[in-house]
Amino acid sequence: MMRKLVSAMVLALAACAPAQEDVVQESAAREANVSQGLPAPTPQDVVLRIGAEQEGRTVQLRVGERFAVELVGVPTAGYVWAPAVVPAFLTRAGEASGPTSPAQNQPGFTGGNHWEVMMFAATGPGTGELKLEQRRPWESNEPPNAVYSVNVIVAP
């Protein structure tokens, strides 16, 4: 009798738990509310910080300048942002990550959204699209969970 009761409780809890895709979609919805949490851990030497709100827009830089793309991800569930298309006139120039809320710094806190910051340097003049994809690296045959792109114009 006790086994049946425990089994029924486990099944009921499993039915109430959100699917992994729901958790990832919720993270995108919460990204807009991150301003109430911690800022992205972006180094001070970047000239431009761009985030989710610049998706699809055009940004302008000069040769030699560094910029940062600040996105919120769910690396604890395996979903990480990575460059998919990088124009030849840009190079990777570092990365940083960190919590999005003060609660994540408390002992015992697990999971949650995290900042994923990628820095790029403009090494030459040009115009092109920088495209990032959020996916689980081991699921190479699956479509990305999310795509982010920004048009970059670099002047001499």
Helix (H) or strand (E) holding 117: strand 114-122
154 burial level (CB within 10 Å; 0-12, 13-18, 19+): buried
CATH number for 46: 2.60.40.2020
More confident site: 30 or 108: 108
Residue 125 lies in a domain: yes
Question: What's the domain range around 141?
Answer: 17-27+41-155
**The whole model's pTM is what?**
0.74
51 located within any domain: yes
Mention every residue, 6+ apart, whose C-beta is less than 8 A from residue 102. Answer: 37, 38
pLDDT at res. 36? 57
Question: Per the structure block, which two tokens stand in for 15?
Answer: 């039915």
Each residue of 44-54: pLDDT tens digit? 999 999 999 99
Total number of domains in the chain: 1
Q: Give pLDDT tens digits for 20-40.
A: 344 334 334 434 444 459 999
Q: Is residue 4 part of a domain?
A: no
- C-alpha to C-alpha distance for 84 and 134, rounded to whole angstroms: 9
* Weakest-pLDDT range from 13-27, 43-57, 101-115, 134-148: 13-27
Quick one: pLDDT at residue 53?
95
